[in-house]
Amino acid sequence: MKHIYLNLKRFDIPAEYGGVNHISDIHTYGKAVVESVEEGLKQYAPEEADFTVFFQEAHLLSALAARSADSPLQIGAQSADRGDTAVGGNFGAFTSRRPASALAAMGCEAVMIGHCEERNEKRALLEAAGVSDETAASVINAALNDEILQALNRGLKVLYCIGERSEETERWQSVLQEQIETGLKGADRSRVVIAYEPVWSIGPGKTPADKAYIEKIARFIQSLDPQLEVVYGGGLKAENAAMLASIPEISGGLIALTRFSGEIGFYPEEYLEIIRLYLGK
């Protein structure tokens, strides 16, 4: 089975505020995304692929409410906190944070943890406090492990993002191994999918990772644990869909932007076209 993930980042912000939302009023964004892709995904059999969309918290309820009874979409959040509520314990001291219990109560099925943007934010705080890069990496992996365990405890599926930065490319094996071993310590790995992000190759002006490199990484991850499924987290798009589909060790991908020039952003019809190109139908 293939796993297709969609991370909408902050694509809900209107263009006049510096965002890239060209598809809907922000108040109906979650509903609009679900309704615009749901029917197009029903052509794929459940055993062929599953489809998960990670929304900002503000849009989760409207997205969940918009799904039809036979929807192929799973709805997830873009992170979960490393702490959670508990009967007889912490009942809500999570101001500004997103406990897994809140996601489960809303009806979410999945969560994304460890995206490079989340790792960068945590690293920036630690570096500002004078923590060394090596220590920061260990602290971040341990914190993400807490997030993963809380999410799994609430019955959520986890997409766990890992990847090496440009300054880590010469020691990528040890970097990825620590991210996996520390991040997944004590976790039920059958409910976790790995999204590999070659952080060094993502962004304007950078050279994308090629097929040989992605194959090498996917095989390395599965050499550490053969049960781990790996999807490409560096951006599944029209230009690389066929190439990624030809890699047996890659079980899907993470889509974000669908248009990278002109009025850049996420466009539902282009999302469906990327999936068609990747799945070959």
DSSP run (H or E) holding 229:
strand 229-232
Signed CA dihedral, 128, 131, 137, 142: sign only: negative
Q: Is 197 marked active-site?
A: yes
DSSP state of 192: E
Say how far apart CA 159 and CA 114 lie, in whole Å.
8
Alpha carbon dihedral 7, 177, 278, 235, in 10-degree steps, equals 40
In 33-136 the beta strands, taken as DSSP E runs, fall at 49-55, 73-77, 110-113
Q: Is 3 marked active-site?
A: no
**Residue among 277, 272, 279 at smallest CA distance from 240:** 277
DSSP state of 207: P
Catalytic residue among 147, 164, 197, 229: 197
In 78-215 the beta strands, taken as DSSP E runs, fall at 110-113, 157-162, 192-196
Catalytic residue among 115, 118, 147, 164: 115
The answer to whether the CB of 225 falls within 8 A of the CB of 189 is yes
Q: Cα dist. 187→20, 203, 244 in Å? A: 36, 31, 28
Angle (CA) 122-123-124 rounded to 5° is 95
Say how far apart CA 201 and CA 250 lie, in whole Å.
18
| Residues involved in catalysis | 115, 197
